[in-house]
Structure 1
Amino acid sequence: MPPVAVRRAATARRITCSAALALSPTSSLSLRPHRCRGDRSHTTAAWRPVSVLDEWVAKEARPISLRQLMVFGRSLTESRLINSANYVRTELPTRIAHRIRDMQHLPYAVVKNRHISDVYNLYYNAFDSFRKIKEINTLEENDEFCKTISKNLQAHLTVIPKLAMGIIECSDLMDEQSLDKFMNTILRSRISRRVIAEQHLALTDTYNSPWFSPGAKLSEADFIGEVFIKCVAKDVVDRCGRTVQALARATYGPEVQVPEIKVEGHLSASFPYILSHLEYIVGELLRNSVRAVIERQIRESGTAKAGATEPVAPIEVTICESPQLIIIRISDRGGGVPRDILPHIWSFSKGPRGQKLLENLGQVPKMAATMQELHVHDEIGRADLRTPSYDSPSTSSLSSLSKRPPNLQLGMGLPLSRVYAEYWAGSLELHSLEGYGVDTFLQISRLGNKNEQLTTRATIDAV
């Protein structure tokens, strides 16, 4: 049999097996001897008929851009709010359905992992909930819809750590490239759903607020829903820098010599963006650089206390502005990425460090992937990093539900930051000079006219 035919036959057998399992009300692991590493326990899930997904998987998601979000929300009326509700009402089950089908196509032993199975059940319950909601015609119906959105967003705060643990535990059952493709797809889709859901919640909150006046002119410092109209890159770097420096003192002690963060270039460069996305990316990059510089100082001098050694090298941030792009370069002299770790920095399965990171992830029950989850109260107030005013899961996630210790490394920062960057058609690249330091380059669309980058079932099957 030709190699192509062999691959197709293997794929067909895997898909048939997965689909058959999905039709079964209960399943046993005895059909396959493979086991996942780490926590060896598995779960028996109640699988639903796959046919109920077919109608929704056949639909294509309708991507949007930041500019569309701004234009739509700038002139908010009751009619527009109802239209927003019905867009979200149909988009959420469509986007969730594609991800459920992705999970049904995974190898049986992977889907049976208790963490992946938990995520599957969360997704199916959310899909089942949203697909049954009828067309929204009144503000009262919209308020009830918002309660359903908030409930599901809250429940899904466990998704990121569960997915990460499941992928690491099952890294011996699938190749690293396939696992990372699955994780990138499912996390990008998760971001897309939270964007449209939280944008609608924010618009509803704005419309219901006592100071809302339809047609009122917004200042450049305003948010339209979750979109910050004029996001100044330097301000974000400064805020995240203060947070990261506070984290370093919480980790290494108050006497530690924390590297200075110098910002240069086009300091007034601004662009529309979702602030929590940018804060997460910049915060993680600065956190990595600050930690690398401090730990290099400890290795070479035995201490990083202020006054005990020469001043540590600063972190240099350069902001570049062009007609269509914003580029942020973060440079450190922390010694570079170790050669054995470098091949795995963008991977979610993490290679030889997987077992240690698996133990760390077990300490983080919930994760919204926001900079505020790493917040330290000893130097800056929570107002320094924006939180939404409406009572939503975002507010809960920003109050550090994860209880993540400041020195706990999860191995999620770089790969998740790249997912965030690429979601709005940007990019994130890292260049390491072993023995010297690291340069990271974040590229962002300045105009906000790039559609969200989505992956549907059709594009997955075409790969």
Structure 2
Amino acid sequence: MHPTIVRATKYAIFGVPIRTMVHALEKTPTPLTLRQLLDNGGSPGSPPSLEGLLASAAFTQRELPIRLARRVRQFYSLPFLVASNPYIQRIARLYASSFARLDNVPPIETPEQNDEFVRILQQLVIDHSDNAEVLSMGFAECGAYMDAEQIGSFLNAALHSRIGIRIIAEQHLALTASATGDESRYRQTPTSVGIVETQMRLADVIRASGEYVRNLCEATFDYAPALELQGDVDVTAVGVPGHLEYVMTELLKNSFRATTERHLKEAARNGIPPVTVTISSTPSDICLRIRDQGGGIEAENMARIFDYAYTTAKSEPVDTSGDPMDVTSGALQGTMGTLAGLGHGLPMSRLYVGYFSPDNTVDVVSLLGHGCDTFVRIERHIEMSNVAI
């Protein structure tokens, strides 16, 4: 063992003894691909065998502590005043405690042991559900100690890792649910393998996101644009529907809010122009274009739209009398949730779209005085299109 590690073993990082993290930090996480998730999960629409389920448990049990330990080390590398921020401290300690809990789980060799492991994973997913929002709030308070480029780099690494951690955990939870017949949270289809859908209909996901955002917009403004879908509406792809749903919800929130705000004064007389999503596909790619009439984005703001905590939403003054950890304070809110205001929708959408391939992109083109076109490019993963169903 390296001598500096030996001398450090009596110390703790965010409440966890360093000695318990050394072994995990010496390992390298396995790159995560859609093909790997499909291969580990068995045939689409069928529950995994006991052997396959235990193999998934072993993979999950190995990978999560490695990834959590690396995130703890990343938080430990922050400047002292940044790491001391209460929002950032909360997430750092959460990663450390999650690592410690998973590191103490014995090897999983029976269905009963897997059931207990699943209960731990379920709590982990719940505990980490608001990490992105809390981190964004924390770093918004630390601009004096880190510049925007440093903050963006840290958040990209942390949130990219968070996506992988969640995929691994939820894939095993979904496979276990399939094996036990429990569809209370993870509903399996004849074409799904865990959380991966081998025949994901993009139009269905877009419509569901659009319906949610439309209701949210109406709850906030009393008016909302219609969603129009054009192009190759029958196209399918291999992917994680939850990821596309998140991305489309965030992008449609931007378009619905901007369009409604711009046309609100004449809405009762002339209505609100629609938001149009066009789907195009080739053998190698699927492209989405979200077109709105929200007035566009000022040229000086375009360079910042993918920065964390940057938003063009018109928010009310923050109410500091309530819960200090309420990260939705100051955002446009309706009775169904938050429409805008936190400023992490675009950068997070780019991370989700690009997680399985750096060639997947999100780009925005502004026609100032009229509106924006937002483009999403997704690889078809054509080599997976012939998965047996």
Deviation, 1:407, is: 4.2
What residue is the counterpart of 1:274 in the other structure?
A: 240
What's 2:31 paired with?
63
Match of 1:236 in 2: 205
Deviates most, 171-180 or 353-362: 353-362
Secondary structure of 2:337's counterpart equals coil
Q: Return the alpha-carbon distance in structure 2 between the equivalents of residues 251 and 415 of structure 1.
A: 24
**Residue identity matched to 2:32:** I
Name the structure 2 match of 1:250: 219
Amino acid corresponding to residue 436 of structure 1 in structure 2: H
> Cα distance, 1:48 vs. partner?
4.1
Q: CA deviation at 1:166?
A: 0.8
TM-score, normalization: structure 1? 0.71
Aligned to 1:226: 195
Q: Which has the higher contact order (CA 8 A, sep 6+)?
A: 1
| 2:366 matches 1:432 | yes
CA separation in 1, counterparts of 2:317 and 2:243?
23
Deviations 1:374-406 (A, max 9, x none): 999xxxxxxxxxxxxxxxxxxxxxxxxxx8634
> 1:92 and 2:61 equivalent?
no
Contact 2:310 2:342 in 1 (8 A): no
Q: What does the per-residue CA deviation read over 1:412-462, in whole Å, with 9 as the maximum and x for residues that have no partner? A: 211111111111212111111221211111111212769xxxxxxxxxxxx
Q: CA deviation at 1:223?
A: 2.4
Give the Cα–Cα distance (whole angstroms) in 2 for the partners of residues 356 and 291 of structure 1.
Answer: 15
> Residues 40-59 of structure 1: matches in 2 within 5 Å?
47-59=15-27
**Structure 1 SS opposite 2:120:** helix
Residue 23 of structure 2 aligns to a residue whose secondary structure is helix
* Percent identity for Structure 1 against Structure 2: 32
TM-score scaled by structure 2? 0.84
Matching of residue 314 in structure 1 with residue 314 in structure 2: no
Work out which of the residue numbers 81, 95, 116 in structure 2 matches 1:123: 95
In structure 2, what is the equivalent of residue 215 of structure 1?
A: none
| Change in 2 beyond 3 A, CA 1:238/1:363 | farther
CA displacement at 1:138 relative to structure 2: 0.7
Secondary structure of the residue aligned to 1:280 is helix
User: 2:226: which partner in 1?
Assistant: 260
Go from structure 1 to structure 2 and tell me whether the alpha carbon gap of 1:129 and 1:252 turns closer, same or farther (over 3 Å shift).
same
Instruction: Return the match for 1:443 from 377, 385, 389.
Output: 377
Equivalent residue for 2:255?
Answer: 289
1:157 is paired with a residue of what secondary structure? coil
Report the Cα offset of residue 171 of structure 1. 1.5
Deviations 1:205-229 (A, max 9, x none): 1111289xxxxxx97x532211122
Residue 238 of structure 1: how far off its partner (Å): 1.8
Sort the Cα spacing of 1:77 and 1:199 in 2 relative to 1 into closer, same or farther, 3 A.
same
For residues 316 and 182 of structure 2, what CA distance do their matches in structure 1 show?
Answer: 50
SS in 2 for 1:344: coil
Structure 1, unmatched stretches of 5+, are 1-15, 26-44, 212-217, 368-373, 377-402, 451-463
Kindly state the Cα deviation for residue 323 of structure 1 after the two structures are TM-superposed.
1.1
1:157 to 111, 129, 136: 129
- Note if 1:142 corresponds to 2:74: no
User: Where in structure 2 are the equivalents of 1:183-194 lying within 5 Å?
Assistant: 183-194=155-166
**Aligned Cα RMSD in Å?**
3.3
Structure 2 vs 1, CA of residues 292 and 353 (structure 1 numbering), >3 Å: closer, same or farther?
closer
Change over 3 Å in CA distance of 1:352–1:170 after alignment to 2 = farther
Determine which structure has the larger strand proportion and give its number: 2
The alpha-carbon distance between structure 1 residues 22 and 364, as it changes in their structure 2 partners (threshold 3 A), is farther
CA distance in 2, matches of 1:314, 1:179: 36
Q: Report if the CA contact (8 A) 2:285-2:380 is conserved.
A: yes
- Conserved? CA contact 2:292–2:371, under 8 Å: yes
Matches within 5 A, 1:358-377: 365=326
User: Match of 2:369, SS?
Assistant: coil
Look up the match of 1:409. 341
- Paired residue type of 2:337: P
In 2, the alpha carbon distance for the partners of 1:233 and 1:440 equals: 16
Report how many residues are paired: 365
2:73 aligns with 101
* In structure 1, C-alpha distance between the alignment counterparts of 2:333 and 2:316, rounded to whole Å: 23
